[in-house]
Amino acid sequence: MAGMVRVESDERPERPLELVVLSTWGERLRGLLGTGPDARAVMLLRCPSVHTFGMTYPIDVALVGELGEVLLVRREVPPREVVSHPEACCAIERPASGGPWPEEGEHLWVSALSVGTSVL
């Protein structure tokens, strides 16, 4: 069962993101696969890379280090691609959008909103 978190940036505190947390191996492997372009943004724990094999729409990706530093950002990643960073400990992804998104170099803080709810 997934939980929800709020992610805020030291550099841009006015732009919080609410994310569904995916923590099991199966949840992380699936990510946004099988969803549509209106799916909620997700945080994949213990995940230094994401793939878009099987996706039908592009996604935005941010890879984050263990201290909350945004290491790599890729917007509008098309299907059949891989995005990775050797120092990342989690990934944030959503259907590609022009809305606010973390930027490389930002420092993120995570606050729990709910635990163990089904929200996908």
| pLDDT tens, residue by residue, 12-49 | 888 899 999 998 888 888 889 999 999 999 999 999 99
* CATH architecture designation of domain 3-100: Sandwich (2.60)
The helix/strand/coil state of 90 is strand
Contact between 95 and 62 (Cβ < 8 Å): no
Residue 60 token pair:
């935005």
Q: Tokens 């259907």 identify what position?
A: 95
Give percent of the chain with pLDDT exceeding 90: 72
Give the domain ranges of the chain. Answer: 3-100
pLDDT, position 30: 87
Give percent of the chain with pLDDT exceeding 70: 93
Question: Integer distance in angstroms from the first to the last C-alpha of the chain?
Answer: 10
pLDDT, position 118: 45
Tell me: the pLDDT tens digits for 66-87?
999 999 999 999 999 999 999 9
How many Å is the maximal CA-CA distance in the chain? 35
Q: pTM of the entire structure?
A: 0.89
Single-letter code of the amino acid located at 43: M
Which is nearest to 76 in space by CA: 106, 47, 52? 52
What residues are paired with 77 via a beta bridge?
Answer: 59
Which is nearest to 94 in space by CA: 62, 66, 48, 65? 62
pLDDT, position 116: 59
pLDDT, position 25: 87
